[in-house]
Amino acid sequence: MSTDLSPIDKAKYAAARRASEMVEDGMRVGLGTGSTAAWLVRCLGERVRDEGLRFRAVPTSTRTAELAREVGIEVVSLGDAGWLELTIDGADEFDADLSLIKGGGGALLHEKIVATASDQMVVIADAAKEVDTLGRFPLPVEVIGFGWQATQALIEEALASLDVDGRDTKLRMDGDAPYTTDEGNRILDLQLGRIGDPRQMALVLNQIPGVVENGLFIDICDRVMIGHSDGRVETRDLATGTVTEDQADEGGNLFTDLDG
């Protein structure tokens, strides 16, 4: 493993490396978006090159699709793939119930569609992503561009009756212009501090006109693989309630051309 990587980057790599071993020939696999997912794609590309692994991938963003094609992975649409055996993705936060906040990379809508069209969703993350209560990371909410200010006002009104510590909402920007998702929508980031009832929050948000989807992933994640900087990977399986720990395969340096 590259000695130039930070401890957090080494942890992300370890989780990605270990998760890449779950992919088998002939599978249909959803590939997430973000820095950890990018390392997963690199690891899978190495297996395609060195082991002749063949599988069909459904990326959750144009960024992931471009990287997957670059490393030799076959990319197909979700419509062409149909149901998926496995989706592997990162998370901005996860709790003990494996509830997640996702969408920091702006792909929450595609990520949720792909994850729920899979037999199993596996999250790969470093230990810093674990929290006692969701909400420290801003909750992304994807909204349509038309009347987004009205949608924002309705969200802020709804937050007044929910169990949260903060109620600030901000339009995500990309430089001087609003950030635009792959579906042409915008994202509002909710600075909540703490979400007392994530399930209620998700239901309330998705009833507001103009909201396309929110970044709370409830009852979707089946397993989380937590990487550590020394190469250890802790795996928590929600269905079995088991926790296992092993060492990620210390392969070659896959990161010389990655931004991190």
For residue range 49-69, what is the model confidence (pLDDT) as tens digits? 999 999 999 999 999 999 999
Digit-coded pLDDT (tens) for 203-251: 999 999 999 999 999 999 999 999 999 999 999 999 999 999 998 865 4
Give DSSP secondary structure letters for 40-56: HHHHHHHHHHHH----E
Q: How far apart are CA 117 and CA 30, in angstroms?
A: 9
CATH 3.30.70.260 fits 139-212, yes or no: yes
Beta partners for residue 177, in sequence order: 174
Beta bridge pairs of residue 246: 233
Distance (Å) of CA 22 to CA 25, 133, 155, 216, 226 = 10, 29, 39, 25, 15
Known catalytic residue: 111? yes
With bands split at pLDDT 50, 70 and 90, how would you rate the model's confidence at 3? low
Is 252 among the annotated ligand-binding positions?
A: no
CATH topology of domain 7-130+219-243: Rossmann fold (3.40.50)
Distance CA 111, CA 136 (A): 21
Annotated binding-site residue? 103 = yes
Pick the catalytic residue: 111, 213, 234, 245?
A: 111
Query: Does 79 belong to an annotated binding site?
Result: no
Average pLDDT over residues 28-35: 97
Please check if 104 is assigned to a binding site: yes
Q: Do domains 7-130+219-243 and 139-212 have the same CATH topology?
A: no
* For the chain, percent of residues with pLDDT exceeding 70: 94
Ordered by start, the domain boundaries in the chain are 7-130+219-243, 139-212
Q: In what side-by-side order are the strands of the sheet with 74-75?
A: 74-75, 56-59, 28-31, 86-89, 121-126, 223-227, 232-237, 243-247
To the question of whether residue 210 is assigned a binding role by annotation, the answer is no
Over residues 143-152, the pLDDT tens digits come to: 999 999 999 9
- Residue 248 is predicted with a pLDDT of 80
